[in-house]
Structure 1
Amino acid sequence: MKRKQQKFHLYRWKRKVFAAILIGFCFGSLVLMQTQYTRIVSLRHRFAQKPKIAFLFIARNRLSLEMVWDKFFEGGENRFSIFVHSRPGFLFNKATTRSVYFLGCQVNDSTQVDWGEASMIEAERILLRHALEDPYNERFVFLSDSCIPLYNFRYTYNYIMSTSTSFVDSFADTKQGRYNPKMAPVIPVHNWRKGSQWAVLTRKHAEVVVNDTTVFPVFQQHCKRRSLPEFWRERSAPVDPAKEHNCIPDEHYVQTLLAQEGLEGELTRRSVTYSAWDLSSSKDHERRGWHPVTYKYSDATPKLIQSIKEIDNIYYETEYRREWCSSKGKPSRCFLFARKFTRPGALRLLNMSVLGGEGVEARNETVAK
C-alpha cells in the first residue's frame, strides 16, 4: 500500500513537472513570437516611414506668420516635425495660435534670448536636442518668426533631401572686431568663420552641435555684446570702443564649430534662406548693417518674390568665391525661404497666391517625363 502511494505521488509530481515545462515552453514560444512580430512590424514601419525634416522656429512670442506656414505644411504626409522656441512663460495654445500644426510643438525648457549674446545659440542647441529625440528626423532647418517659404512643401523637401550635405553659409571673417584673441588657442583665428544662422543641418552635424562642450563655452565667455553709442548715455562710455568685441554668436558659432571639427568638406557653404542687407538704410553709421531689411505690406509684391527666386549664385568677397547653386547636380535657384516679412506683408503674398508652387527645375522634369 505504501509503495502504491509513493508511485502515485511520483506520478503526480512528474505530471506537475511536465505541465510546468509545457507551460514554460508555450509561454516562451508566445514571447518569442510576440518579439518577432514586434520586430517585423517595426521593420515594416521603418521601411514605410520616410525621413523627416525638423523645422526649428526661433520666436519671440507667437508666430505671426503661422497661416503662411499652415498652408505650406498641408500635404506633408508625416515627412516633417515642428519645434518652437519662444520666450519662457509664453504658451502656444488655441488662444495664441490658429494653426493645428504648431499645437504641442513648443519646447518646455526655453531660455531668454538676447540679441548679440550666446543665449541665441543656446536656443538653437535646445531645439536640436528635442528634435534629435525623433530618430526619423534627418534634416534640421532653423527659421525665424519672420521667415516665409518660397515654394511648396514637396519641392522644399526634395531640394533639401537631395544632398547628403548641410547647407551652412560659411566664409572666412577677415574684419577686425568680431574675433576675440582671448579665444585662442581653443579657437584659432584660421578657424574663425562667419555666415547666416539660418542653416540646414544633417543629423550628424546636429549631433556635433548638441554634443559640443569645447567651442560653446568659449563663445559664452568671450562673446559679449558691444555697447552701441546710443546706450552710452545710460552707462559710462568704454575707454576704447575699438577694443570691444561683438562677435554676434549666432553668425559665427555653427560655422566655426564645424570648421574646428574638420567638417567643412561635408557642407554646401551657403544658406537657403534669403535676407537683404541694405547698408545705406540707416542714417546712423554705427547701426548700418546690424539688421536685414524688413518687408512691409507695400514691399510684398510678386516682383519681389520672383526676384528672390531668380537668384542662382552668391559671391563671397573675403574668399573670392562665387557659389553657383545646384540641386540634384543641376543648376538651381539658391533660396527656399526668405525673411524678414511683417504679418501684413506675408498675408498679402499668401492671398495673392504668390508663395508655393514648384521650382523651374521641377516643372522641367515633369514636362520631360
Structure 2
Amino acid sequence: MKATMKNKMDDEKITIAVIDYSLRLQGFCKEWSVGLVQIMSILVIFVSGMILGLAGSAHISRYFARHDFFQAPQFVATRCKEDVVKVDCWSVENFVRPKKLAHGMTDAELLWRASMVPQKAEYPFRRKPKVAFMFLTKGPLPLSLLWEKFFSRADKDLYSIYVHTPPYYELNVSATSVFVGRQIPSQDVHWGSVDMVDGEKRLLANALLDFSNERFVLLSESCIPVYNFDTIYNYLINSKHSFVDSYDDPSRYGRGRYNRRMLPDIKLSQWRKGSQWFEANREVAIHIISDTKYYSIFRRHCWPSCYPDEHYIPTYLNMFYGSLNSNRSVTWVDWSKGGPHPVTFEGVNITESFIRSIQNNGTECLYNDGMTPMCYLFARKFAPSALEPLLNLTSTLMRF
C-alpha cells in the first residue's frame, strides 16, 4: 500500500516536472522568437536606411554637381548683376586690400585682427603708401562736395576713405561719390563719453585692414582741407612723427580731470590732454588699437566730465611712445571764445584772408628735423552754410 502511494507521488512529481519544463520551453521559444523578430526588424531598418542614404547621397551629389558647388575651395562665386565674378579668397591681394568694408566681426574680433603685424619686412606685393581719411560723423556729410573736389584730382591708389556714422544710417550721396560704400560697421557714440574713443579705435582698426594705409587722419563732418591733396599727402607721408596733440594742462580742465583711482598704473605726472582730431602713422595706430589695459582704466575711471577722447590717446602715447609723436595736431580749431565747444564758422565768415590765416598763422612748428610755417593741414568747425564760399576759394587759394 505504502509502496503504491509512493510510486503514485513520484509519478505526479515527474508529471509536474515535465509540465513545468514544457512551459519553460514554450516561454523560452516565445522569447527567442520575439528577440528574433526584433533583430530582423533592426536589420530591415538598417538596410533600408543604407539604401535610402545611398540613394540620397547619389541625388545630392548629382544636385551639387549640376549646380557647380564643388569648385576649387579657394574660390567663391559672387553674382554682380548678370556677371559671375570669381574671387580668390586666399590671395594676398584680397587679404591686404579688402574690397568691401562690410563685415560681421565684433569690435573685439576686429581689434584683434587689425593688431596683426607681419614679422617679415618685405612686402610680397607692390605697396604704395596711402593716407586713410577717417570721418567720425553724426550722420550726414554737409561738406561732402568740398571733399569730392579735393579728391577729384588725387591718385586713387594714394588714399582711402572710412566713414563712421550712427548704426543703420545711410549716407545720402550720389552714385559716383567717393563716399559710396565707405561706411564701416559702427555703433552709437556720444559726445564726451568713452564710446567716442571706441569710434576712433573702430575707424583705425578698419583702416588698418588695408596694409597699404600708412597714415591715418581723424576728421569730423565739419572739417575741411586747407591745402590740395598732393601737399597734404607729401607732408604726412614724409613725416617722421605722428601728429597727436599732447600736453600738460595744470588747470582744472587738464589735471583737474585726473582720477586718483587710476593709480598706480597712471600717475598724475603722466596725465596729458590734447585735441581729439589726431593723425597717426601705422606703427602708432597699431599701438593704439592694441591697448586693452589702459583703455580699460579710462573706461572705469574717466567720468564724469573727464572727456576720454581728449585724454586717453595723449596720455597713452606720452607714457610709452612719446618719441614717435610730434605733440601737436595738424587740424586747426578756434577755442578763443572758451566753453566746451570751439567756434563754428558760417558762410559769412569765409574769406580769402581767413583761409590764409589758417595756412600761415605767423608761427612755426617742428617738422622732422627743422621748423616750418606750415603747421595745419585741416581746419574745423565749419557749418553747412560755409560750403558755397569755400568752393569758390578752392581753385585760387587751396589749389584743388
**Could you state the TM-score of these two structures normalised by the residue count of structure 2?**
0.65
Partner of 1:32: none
Task: Calculate the aligned-residue CA RMSD, in Å.
Answer: 2.4
Partner of 1:169: 245
Query: 2-side partners of 1:336 and 1:324: how far apart?
Result: 13
The amino acid of 1:340's aligned partner reads K
1:195-234 matches, within 5 Å, as 195-225=274-304
Q: Does 1:291 align with 2:347?
A: no
Query: 2-side partners of 1:305 and 1:297: how far apart?
Result: 12
Q: Offset of 1:260 from its aligned partner?
A: 2.1
Partner of 1:250: 309
Partner of 1:347: 388
CA deviation profile, 1:202-254 (whole Å, cap 9, x unmatched): 111101111111111111111223xxxxxxxxxxxxxxxxxxxx221111111
Q: Provide runs of 4+ in structure 1 moved above 6 Å.
A: 42-45
Is there any run of 5+ residues in structure 1 with no aligned partner, and where? 1-37, 226-245, 280-287, 314-322, 359-369
173, 181, 200: which is aligned to 1:104? 181
The amino acid of 1:70's aligned partner reads E
Q: Offset of 1:312 from its aligned partner?
A: 4.9
261, 264, 286: which is aligned to 1:185? 264
Partner of 1:302: 352
Q: Offset of 1:98 from its aligned partner?
A: 6.5
Q: Does 1:71 align with 2:149?
A: yes
Larger RCO (CA within 8 A; separation ≥ 6) = 1
Query: 1-side partners of 2:372 and 2:165: how far apart?
Result: 37
Partner of 2:322: 264
CA deviation profile, 1:241-285 (whole Å, cap 9, x unmatched): xxxxx2211111111111222x11111111100000123xxxxxx
Query: Are residues 209 and 97 of structure 1, via their aligned partners in 2, closer, same or farther at CA, if it must alter by over 3 Å?
Result: farther
Partner of 2:220: 144
The amino acid of 1:113's aligned partner reads V
Q: Offset of 1:99 from its aligned partner?
A: 5.8
Q: Structure 1 residues 74-83 or 323-332, which shifts more?
A: 323-332
Identity rate, percent: 40
Query: 2-side partners of 1:249 and 1:60: how far apart?
Result: 18
Q: Secondary structure at the match of 2:134?
A: strand
204, 207, 223: which is aligned to 1:128? 204
Partner of 2:69: none
The answer to whether the Cα contact below 8 Å between 1:64 and 1:145 also exists between their aligned partners in 2 is: yes
Q: Secondary structure at the match of 1:88?
A: coil
Query: Are residues 63 and 98 of structure 1, via their aligned partners in 2, closer, same or farther at CA, if it must alter by over 3 Å?
Result: farther
The answer to whether the Cα contact below 8 Å between 1:148 and 1:338 also exists between their aligned partners in 2 is: yes
The amino acid of 1:292's aligned partner reads P
The answer to whether the Cα contact below 8 Å between 2:136 and 2:221 also exists between their aligned partners in 1 is: yes
Query: 2-side partners of 1:312 and 1:119: how far apart?
Result: 37
Q: Offset of 1:356 from its aligned partner?
A: 2.2
CA deviation profile, 1:133-167 (whole Å, cap 9, x unmatched): 00000100000110000010000000111112101
The answer to whether the Cα contact below 8 Å between 1:326 and 1:332 also exists between their aligned partners in 2 is: no
Query: Are residues 312 and 207 of structure 1, via their aligned partners in 2, closer, same or farther at CA, if it must alter by over 3 Å?
Result: farther
Query: 2-side partners of 1:63 and 1:355: how far apart?
Result: 23
The amino acid of 1:270's aligned partner reads R
The answer to whether the Cα contact below 8 Å between 2:135 and 2:163 also exists between their aligned partners in 1 is: yes
Query: 2-side partners of 1:326 and 1:207: how far apart?
Result: 22
**Could you state the TM-score of these two structures normalised by the residue count of structure 1?**
0.71
Query: Are residues 343 and 212 of structure 1, via their aligned partners in 2, closer, same or farther at CA, if it must alter by over 3 Å?
Result: same
The amino acid of 2:346's aligned partner reads K
Query: 2-side partners of 1:206 and 1:335: how far apart?
Result: 20
